[in-house]
């Protein structure tokens, strides 16, 4: 029963992966990738790693893929033509993927050469418990956890700084927009939203 | 569930500084434009408070958060260097930004966050903390590099710095992962214990982890061959940011490297000293030779900063106490000197007319004798002429290399110092021996902030250079104490 379930999930994951690579439409690719992520998270569940499964869904399928879809839609990049200078990519990908496959086949099932942390299947099972992880996060690793929050604040401030125009710059942009509107359609002043005063060029 | 003893003492400076950064964001939110003029001074006040709090903990040696951070004398010295770089850069920034319509309060907050990153790099005793410190140092720097948006050069520099910086961070993370795989911990002391085991020492995992960590930090401190980004980023970034970056990023990167190498990997010192010697030689030769051909002052200072990373690497490669003390003293001297040199450039620039071309400094002495004199002091210090801080720093690291018997490295370092005299002194000759081609009268920007910064930089450069022998002994001793706290086995 379990093995049937595993093969079914694995097949879905593979279909997702292959579909992602083969589809010409970027949106379809992204959606296939979501399918692959969902199937992988089911595999994690079967391996008794519920936390990893949930993280896989929230972080990858949730946050990152939604961002991908947003970018694709905003840039209108559904149909990306295959550029000539990217011709070598499939070959390189095949070689590297092949190497990874060989490496996996060779290493899986072998004992670890070094195991200083003393990892056993039992400790791994323990770690899969969200409660154990949370305890580590709020005791020994409290400081890294808090510094990460500081890092996120910095990233947020930085993103605002880089994307929001400065007051002076905004004035310039409005002026340009105003000039465009006047040039493009005379008498369309009713459409303008900005009050007249701000559009007056500063001497 | 037992909560460990957090011991906030160990985190005091970093805590004050990060809270001060948030305070600046809030002050801007509450008071808006009314307080803009005072923001740079508020930032300087924050840096002074942080520095004072760090100095008040001298010899205390606090350890906190399950060994994640440790505030020892080594961390305090690095903190002081970061404070000096921060204060000078902030003083140079304010009018530069206002003049170019770039002023935004977030600038100062981002700068304080970045300096917090240096503090964490200086006191982190866990690879995870060191990684987070490096990111906290770098991410604000990426943003600040692009602060002159929509200036194309600034945008390009920010993009380049961000992409290459992210790549370097990934090397570092991979190195940390391999080290964890080999030793079973990210705590530097536990790594040291694990390395008592011969099987761990000879493992390729250990060696791979060490090399990748070296690459990650080598990028930050602009060591050859990981220096490619330096000239473009230095040139594109707003000048005060370039000035801060050249000292701050180096201080953080070298502090972390010192702690990792000396605390976690002393067992395999023979591996990493060899690698550091090679890095140092490459950095010294490439930095100094490429600096000769530059016609832009910013690019010249960029290559010169690569070269100086090489001299600091000489101290690291020596692998002895004197080398650590030398590297720290060198960073201190470099902070005053280099920020001073950039300060002169800022004083002579105005919007749209950056004093970037070296030729434009011709005859500066007849128009602006004091600025020319100050620039001469900085150039002499960068060369390493007697009576300047630069010479004392060089003597420190060179004697460390001699003590360690690294003669090839020493010869290369001395020869490249001689080469460096050529391009530093060329500027001095231009300022004093040529007729002026520029009328600097209208574009000199000696505002109170710039004045204070330049005065501090000159005083620092000269004082560190002329301190009499017993004071050198004193510095030597304090730095030796510093080093001992770093190297000493804990508990």
User: Could you tell me if residue B82 is inside a domain?
Assistant: yes
Task: Report the distance separating Cα A130 and Cα A126, nearest Å.
Answer: 9
Question: What is the rounded distance in angstroms from the CA atom of residue B225 to the CA atom of residue B161?
Answer: 16
**Could you tell me if residue B315 is inside a domain?**
yes
In a domain, B282, yes or no: yes
Say how far apart CA B275 and CA B283 lie, in whole Å: 12
What pLDDT is recorded for position B315? Answer: 92
In terms of average pLDDT, the best of B28-42, B229-243, B259-273, B443-457 is B229-243
State residue A108's pLDDT score.
83
Are B347 and B367 in contact by the 8 Å Cβ rule? The answer is no
A162 — phi, psi (to 5°)?
Answer: -75, -25
Candidate from B1, B135, B182 with C-beta closest to A151 = B135
pLDDT score of B4 more than 90: no
Give the model's confidence band at B208: pLDDT under 50 very low, under 70 low, under 90 confident, else very high.
very high
On the question of pLDDT at A47 being above 80, the answer is: yes
Instruction: Place A185 in a pLDDT band, splitting at 50, 70 and 90.
Output: very low
Rounded-to-integer distance, Cα B355 and Cα B438, Å: 10
pLDDT of residue A191: 42
Residue with tokens 């290493």: A107
Closest chain B CA to residue A112: B181
Selection from B215, B254, B250, B275 nearest residue B74 by Cα: B254
- Are the Cβ atoms of A162 and B109 closer than 8 angstroms? no
CA-nearest residue to B67 within chain A is A140
Q: Are B330 and B390 in contact (CB under 8 A)?
A: no
The more confident residue out of A175 and B33 is B33
Determine the pLDDT at residue A183. Answer: 53
pLDDT of A187 > 60? The answer is no
Neighbours of A115 (CB within 10 A): 11
Residue B468's pLDDT band (boundaries 50, 70, 90)? low
> In this structure, are residues B166 and B173 in contact, taking their beta carbons and an 8 Å threshold?
no
**pLDDT for the residue numbered B484:** 65
Q: Name the DSSP class of B35.
A: G
Share above pLDDT 70 across residues of chain A, in percent, rounded to a whole number? 76
Question: Closest chain A residue to B183 measured between Cα atoms?
Answer: A116
Name B470's Cβ contacts closer than 8 Å, sequence gap at least 6: none
Considering chain B, what percentage of its residues have pLDDT values greater than 70?
Answer: 93
Nearest CA to CA, how far is A11 from chain B (Å)? 31
Residue B331 lies in a domain: yes
Query: Do residues B338 and B246 lie in contact, with contact meaning Cβ atoms separated by under 8 Å?
Result: yes
Q: How far is Cα B487 from Cα B264, in angstroms, rounded to an integer?
A: 10
Q: Three-state SS for B71?
A: strand
Better-predicted residue by pLDDT, A4 or A81:
A4
Chain A residues near residue B120 by CB distance under 8 angstroms: 147
Between A and B, how many CB-CB pairs are < 8 A? Answer: 94
Number of C-beta neighbours around residue B188 at 10 A: 25
CA B382 to chain A, closest CA, distance in angstroms equals 34
Mean predicted confidence (pLDDT) in B372-400: 91
Residues 6+ apart with CB under 8 A from B343: B88, B92, B243, B450, B453, B454, B457
Q: Which of residues 191-230 of B touch A (CB under 8 A)?
A: 194, 197, 199-200, 203, 205
Range with lowest mean pLDDT among A182-186, B209-213, B275-279, B374-378 = A182-186
Interface predicted TM-score (ipTM): 0.91
Average pLDDT over residues B203-228: 92
Tell me: the pLDDT tens digits for B83-140?
999 999 999 998 899 888 888 889 999 999 999 999 999 999 999 999 999 999 999 9
CA distance A45 to A55: 11
- CA B178, CA B172: separation in Å to the nearest integer? 10
Contact (CB, 8 A) for B11 and B116: no
How high is the mean pLDDT of chain B? Answer: 89
Q: How far is CA B222 from CA B234, B248, B279, B287, in A?
A: 11, 12, 11, 10
- Per-residue pLDDT, averaged over B465-486, amounts to 64
pLDDT digits (tens, 9 = 90+) for A17-37: 999 988 888 888 899 999 999
Q: Is residue A190 packed enough to be buried (19+ CB in 10 Å), middle (13-18) or exposed (0-12)? A: exposed
Contact A154 B132 (CB under 8 A): no
Indicate the SS3 state at residue B405: coil
State whether residue B311 is helix, strand or coil: helix
From the list B4, B128, B200, which residue is nearest A139 (CB)?
A: B4
pLDDT of residue B32: 78
In terms of residue numbers, what domain contains B40? 8-487
Contacts of residue B181 in chain A, CB cutoff 8 Å? Answer: 114
Residue B27 lies in a domain: yes
Is the preceding peptide bond at B225 cis, omega within 30 degrees of 0?
A: yes
Subunit contact A154:B68, Cβ cutoff 8 A: no
Q: Give A139's contacts in chain B (Cβ within 8 Å).
A: 1-4, 66
Reduce the DSSP state of residue B358 to 3 states and report it.
helix
Residue B490 clears pLDDT 50, i.e. is over it: no
CB B243 within 8 A of CB B326: no
Rounded CA gap, B228 and B303, in Å? 10
SS3 B126: strand
Cα angle: A169, vertex A170, A175; to 5 degrees: 100
- A158:B109 CB<8 A: no
Task: Give the three-state DSSP class for B110.
Answer: helix
**Higher local confidence (pLDDT), B450 or A85:** B450
Count of H helices and E strands in chain A? 10, 0
Tens digits of per-residue pLDDT, B397-440? 998 899 899 999 999 999 999 999 999 999 999 999 888 877 66
The two structure tokens encoding residue A153: 């604040």
Judging contacts by C-beta atoms under 8 Å, the chain A residues touching residue B194 are 116
* pLDDT single digits (tens) B304-337: 999 999 999 999 999 888 888 889 889 999 999 9
Q: Which of B111, B390, B84, B108 is nearest to B251 (CA)?
A: B84
Query: Nearest residue of A to residue B68 by CA position?
Result: A143
Give me the pLDDT at residue B435, please: 83
Task: Give, to the nearest 10 degrees, the angle between helix B39-55 and helix B106-123.
Answer: 10
In tens, the pLDDT along A102-144 reads: 999 988 877 766 777 777 777 777 777 888 888 888 888 999 9
Determine, yes or no, domain membership for B13: yes
Q: For B346-360, write each residue's pLDDT tens digit.
A: 998 877 778 888 888
Comparing A87 with A65, the larger pLDDT belongs to A65
How high is the pLDDT of residue B304?
95
Test B126 with A144 for CB contact under 8 angstroms. Answer: yes
Count how many residues are written for chain A.
203
- The pLDDT assigned to B33 comes to 78
Per-residue pLDDT reduced to its tens digit, B146-199: 998 888 999 999 999 999 999 999 999 999 999 998 898 999 989 988 888 888
Cβ atoms of B245 and B82 closer than 8 Å? no
In a domain, B3, yes or no: no
Hunting for tokens 């005299």 — which residue is that? B421
Q: What is the pLDDT of residue A202?
A: 40
Measure the CA–CA gap between B313 and B221, rounded to whole angstroms. 10
Q: What was the pLDDT predicted at B451? A: 92
| B245 and B141 Cβ atoms separated by less than 8 Å | yes
Given a cut of 90, whether residue A74 has pLDDT beyond it is: no
User: Token pair for residue B218?
Assistant: 């080598």
- Chain A positions touching B36 (Cβ under 8 A) are none
Residue B162: enclosing H or E segment and its boundaries?
Answer: helix B152-183
Return the DSSP state at B350. B
How many Å lie between the alpha carbon of B25 and the closest alpha carbon of chain A? 9
A144 to chain B nearest CA, in Å?
6
CA angle B447, B448, B452 (to 5 degrees): 120
In a domain, residue B1? The reply is: no
Put simply, the chain A residues between 86 and 125 with a CB less than 8 A from any chain B CB are: 113-118
Cα B262 from Cα A115, distance rounded (Å): 24
Per-residue pLDDT at B436: 81
Q: Which region among B32-41, B175-184, B233-242, B480-489 has the lowest average model confidence (pLDDT)?
A: B480-489
Give the mean pLDDT of chain A.
Answer: 80
Domain count, chain B: 1
Residue, of B373 and A168, whose pLDDT is higher: B373
In terms of phi and psi (left: phi > 0; alpha: psi -120 to 50; beta: otherwise), the region of A111 is beta
Lowest mean pLDDT among A179-188, B6-15, B218-227: A179-188
Residue A4 has pLDDT above 70, yes or no: yes
More confidently predicted of A185 and B304? B304
Flag whether residue B1 sits within 8 Å of chain A, measured between CB atoms: yes
């Amino acid at each position: 029963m379990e093995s049937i379930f595993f093969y079914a999930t694995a097949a879905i994951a593979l279909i997702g992966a292959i579909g992602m690579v083969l589809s010409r439409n970027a949106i379809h690719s992204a959606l296939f990738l979501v399918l692959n992520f969902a199937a992988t998270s089911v595999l994690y569940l079967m391996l008794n790693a519920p936390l990893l499964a949930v993280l896989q869904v929230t972080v990858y399928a949730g946050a990152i893929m939604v961002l991908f879809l947003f970018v694709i839609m905003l840039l209108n990049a559904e149909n990306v033509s295959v550029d000539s200078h990217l011709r070598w990519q499939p070959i390189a990908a095949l070689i590297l993927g092949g190497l990874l496959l060989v490496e996996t086949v060779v290493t899986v099932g072998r004992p670890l050469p070094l195991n200083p942390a003393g990892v056993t299947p039992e400790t791994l099972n323990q770690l899969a418990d969200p409660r154990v992880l949370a305890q580590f996060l709020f005791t020994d690793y409290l400081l890294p956890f808090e510094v990460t929050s500081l890092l996120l604040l910095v990233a947020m401030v930085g993103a605002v700084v880089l994307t929001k125009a400065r007051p002076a710059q905004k004035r310039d942009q409005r002026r340009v927009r105003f000039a465009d509107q006047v040039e493009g359609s005379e008498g369309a002043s009713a459409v303008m939203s900005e009050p007249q005063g701000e559009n007056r060029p500063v001497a | 569930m037992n909560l460990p003893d957090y011991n906030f003492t160990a985190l005091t400076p970093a805590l004050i500084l990060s809270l001060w950064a948030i305070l600046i964001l809030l002050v801007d939110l509450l008071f808006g434009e009314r307080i803009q003029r005072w923001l740079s001074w508020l930032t300087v006040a924050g840096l002074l408070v942080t520095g004072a709090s760090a100095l008040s903990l001298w010899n205390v040696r606090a350890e906190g958060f399950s060994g994640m951070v440790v505030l020892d004398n080594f961390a305090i010295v690095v903190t002081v260097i970061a404070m000096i770089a921060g204060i000078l850069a902030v003083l140079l920034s304010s009018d530069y930004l206002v003049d170019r319509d770039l002023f935004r309060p977030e600038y100062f907050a981002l700068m304080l966050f970045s300096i917090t990153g240096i503090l964490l790099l200086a006191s982190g005793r866990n690879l995870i903390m060191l990684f987070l410190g490096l990111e906290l140092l770098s991410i604000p720097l990426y943003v600040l590099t692009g602060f002159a948006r929509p200036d194309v050069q600034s945008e390009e520099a920010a993009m380049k710095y961000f992409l290459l910086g992210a790549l370097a961070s990934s090397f570092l993370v991979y190195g940390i992962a391999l080290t964890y795989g080999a030793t079973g911990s990210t705590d530097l002391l536990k790594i040291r214990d694990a390395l008592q085991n011969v099987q761990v020492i000879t493992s390729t995992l250990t060696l791979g982890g060490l090399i990748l960590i070296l690459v990650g930090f080598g990028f930050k401190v602009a060591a050859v061959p990981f220096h490619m980004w330096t000239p473009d980023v230095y040139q594109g970034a707003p000048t005060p940011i370039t000035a801060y970056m050249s000292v701050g990023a180096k201080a953080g990167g070298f502090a972390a490297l010192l702690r990792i190498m000396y605390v976690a990997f002393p067992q395999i010192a023979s591996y990493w000293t060899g690698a550091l010697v090679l890095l140092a030689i490459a950095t010294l030769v490439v930095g100094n030779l490429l600096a000769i051909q530059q016609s832009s002052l910013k690019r010249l200072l960029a290559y010169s900063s690569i070269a100086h990373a090489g001299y600091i690497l000489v101290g690291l490669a020596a692998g002895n106490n004197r080398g650590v003390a030398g590297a720290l003293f060198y960073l201190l001297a470099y902070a005053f000197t280099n920020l001073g040199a950039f300060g002169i450039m800022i004083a002579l620039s105005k919007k749209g007319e950056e004093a970037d071309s070296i030729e434009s400094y011709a005859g500066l002495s007849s128009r602006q004798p004091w600025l020319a004199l100050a620039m001469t002091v900085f150039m002499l210090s960068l060369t390493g002429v007697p009576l300047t801080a630069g010479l004392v720093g060089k003597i420190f690291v060179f004697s460390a290399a001699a003590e360690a018997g690294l003669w090839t490295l020493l010869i290369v370092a001395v020869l490249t110092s001689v080469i460096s005299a050529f391009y530093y002194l060329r500027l001095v000759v231009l300022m004093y021996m040529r007729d002026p081609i520029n009328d600097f009268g209208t574009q000199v920007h000696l505002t109170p902030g710039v004045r204070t910064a330049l005065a501090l930089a000159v005083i620092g450069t000269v004082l560190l250079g002329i301190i009499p022998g017993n004071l050198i002994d004193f510095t030597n001793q304090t730095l030796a104490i510093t080093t001992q706290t770093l190297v000493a086995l804990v508990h």
